[in-house]
Structures are given as C-alpha cells and as structure tokens.
C-alpha cells in the first residue's frame, strides 16, 4: 500500500475515533441536562430535601459537596506537591523509592469502595470521628493522592534538565530551584491533576457512603461557628453530598417526585463540575502568567 494512502487512512481513523469520543461525551452531558435542567430553580438549589412529599431540593447536599471538595483539596494538594517534589528532585534510585512508587501504583488501582471501607474502619471507628465531613475528606485524600502525586512528579520530570542546571549554576539551593523555577514551569500540568482530582471528589459516592454518611442534619446558615453542631462549617457533622443523594434517591427514595429530584441533582452535578473546571483552568492560567512574568 502506498505510504501516503496509509497515512491518510490512519489520519481519517484518528479523526473518527476523536469524533466518537466527543459525541459520546456531549451525548451523555446533553442527556443529563435535557432531563434535569427544567427541574432546577432557586428553591430547588436552596431548600432541603423532602422524604415523604414532593417539592424538596438539594441545598444542603450542594453545600456539602463544595465544602467536602474544599477540605479534600486543602489536605491533598500540599501533600501531593511535597511528595511529587521529593520523588522528582530529591529521591535517589534505591529499594525505598522503588517500594514507594510501587505503593503509589497499588493505591491508585484500589476501588473506591475499598478506600471507603478503610476510611470507615480507621477514621470513623478507630479515630472516633464518626460519619463526618472530616472522615470523608481524609478518605478521599487517600483516594486522590496517588493520582495527584504522579501528575506532579511527571510534570516536574518533563521540564528540561537545563532549567535545573541553570538554577543551580546561579547558586540557589535545590529547594529554591524546585519552588521558584520548576513549579511555575510545571504549573499547567499540576493544575490538570488538581482538576482531575477535584472531579473525582465531586462525583464520588461509594467512599463517602461509609465515611461522610447518607444524611445531613438541619443546617443553620446564619451560624458559621465551626464548633457548633448546626453550623455548616462543622467538620465533624454528617454530610450527604450530591452524588450520594442521587444514589440514595434512586435506591430508596419514596417521595412522589423522586425521579425528577434525581434528574435535577444530576444536572446540577454536571453543571458544577463544568463550572469548576472552567474556573480552575482560568485561575491556573492567570497564576501561571503572573508567575512567569515575575521571573522575566
């Protein structure tokens, strides 16, 4: 077969595969939005859910999802940055680092239900925190760390060695080289990892059923004292998220409009993930431009 013809056929096949992937993605998103967008209104976004009668909303679940996402990112991002910098810039090739990378690979392949059971045994029972946002955030940190560590390490390893050598040649320390030269250059890849991790947190249900719980107490949004039992910022209260709420409604919902509530909650979940991804990329691009301009 002629080389040009083979190249053209391969190019067409790649375009077809890309089109199929994009079509599936837009089909899924469109199906969810078409079914649920008509359910969404201000009352649905702010009111608590109903158990026996129609007309409930997802206000507490929506807040719990974002609060859990915030706590998980606050814990996991610094840990993943530190571990990624260590593996990329400081760790030597030996048995310990090989074992560490193997452990990270094993953790990344664990099903979320296994991470949830671990969180239930350790954070909920052993630590005595019960079904709480804190237990859920720590379980999701365990779930997300392998992915984010690998993304940080790979982003740093992809930077040319000349940049490291230039920093060291100027007399600055290895830590300053990593934080002031390499991290700004690796920021786009790191932001991609953070977005992937955040998406997993926002859509996770299995691990949270055993750690954050399947209920949410009545919240007083005028009380922002984290130590108060009714405060929405209390990290030791149970917190049903949107993903768990959707699973619960489809599994055991008995309200007359259970299907409509499930469709609306699914649409809100999709829209929230899309908005978060867009904002995260915009903020990341803004920070990257600021950091790179300050180094010129």
So where are the chain's domains? 1-39, 42-294
CA 16-17-19 angle, to 5 degrees, is 65
Number of helices (H), then strands (E), in the chain? 12, 0
Let me know if domain 42-294 sits in CATH 3.40.50.300: no
Euclidean distance between CA atoms 261 and 249, whole angstroms: 8
> Is the confidence at residue 3, as pLDDT, over 80?
no
Q: pTM for the full model?
A: 0.87
Euclidean distance between CA atoms 35 and 135, whole angstroms: 33
> Is the confidence at residue 170, as pLDDT, over 80?
no
Q: Name the phi and psi angles at 205, rounded to 5.
A: -130, -45
Rg of the chain (C-alpha set): 23
> Is the confidence at residue 8, as pLDDT, over 90?
no
pLDDT in the model for residue 107: 86
How far does Cα 279 stand from its chain's mean position?
14
CB atoms under 10 Å from CB of 193, counted, come to 23
Euclidean distance between CA atoms 284 and 296, whole angstroms: 19
- Contact between 193 and 155 (Cβ < 8 Å): yes
Model pLDDT for residues 216-255, shown as the tens digit of each residue: 887 888 888 888 888 889 999 999 999 999 988 888 778 8
Model pLDDT for residues 99-146, shown as the tens digit of each residue: 888 888 888 888 889 999 999 999 999 999 999 999 999 999 999 999
Euclidean distance between CA atoms 3 and 46, whole angstroms: 61
pLDDT in the model for residue 292: 65
pLDDT in the model for residue 53: 83
> Is the confidence at residue 267, as pLDDT, over 80?
yes
């Amino acid at each position: 077969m002629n080389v040009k013809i083979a190249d053209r056929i391969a190019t067409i096949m790649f375009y077809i595969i890309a089109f199929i992937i994009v079509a599936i993605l837009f089909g899924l998103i469109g199906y969810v939005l078409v079914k649920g967008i008509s359910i969404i209104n201000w009352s649905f976004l702010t009111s608590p859910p109903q158990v026996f009668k129609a007309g409930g909303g997802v206000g507490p679940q929506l807040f719990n999802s974002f609060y859990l996402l915030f706590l998980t990112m606050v814990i996991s991002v610094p840990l993943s940055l530190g571990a990624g910098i260590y593996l990329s810039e400081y760790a030597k090739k030996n048995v310990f680092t090989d074992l560490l990378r193997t452990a990270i690979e094993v953790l990344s392949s664990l099903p979320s239900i296994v991470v949830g059971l671990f969180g239930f045994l350790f954070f909920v029972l052993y630590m005595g925190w019960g079904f709480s946002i804190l237990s859920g955030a720590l379980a999701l940190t365990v779930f997300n760390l392998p992915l984010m560590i690998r993304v940080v390490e790979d982003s740093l390893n992809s930077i040319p060695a000349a940049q490291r050598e230039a920093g060291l040649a100027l007399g600055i320390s290895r830590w300053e080289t990593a934080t002031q030269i390499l991290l700004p250059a690796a920021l786009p890849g790191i932001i991609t990892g953070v977005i992937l991790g955040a998406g997993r947190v926002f859509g996770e249900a299995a691990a949270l059923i055993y750690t954050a719980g399947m209920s949410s107490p009545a919240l007083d949004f005028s009380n922002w004292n984290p130590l108060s039992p009714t405060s929405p910022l209390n990290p030791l209260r149970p917190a049903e998220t949107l993903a768990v709420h959707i699973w619960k409604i489809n599994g055991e919902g008995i309200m007359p409009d259970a299907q409509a509530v499930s469709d609306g909650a699914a649409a809100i979940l999709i829209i929230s993930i899309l908005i978060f991804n867009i904002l995260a990329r915009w903020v990341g691009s803004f920070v990257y431009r600021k950091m790179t301009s300050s180094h010129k």
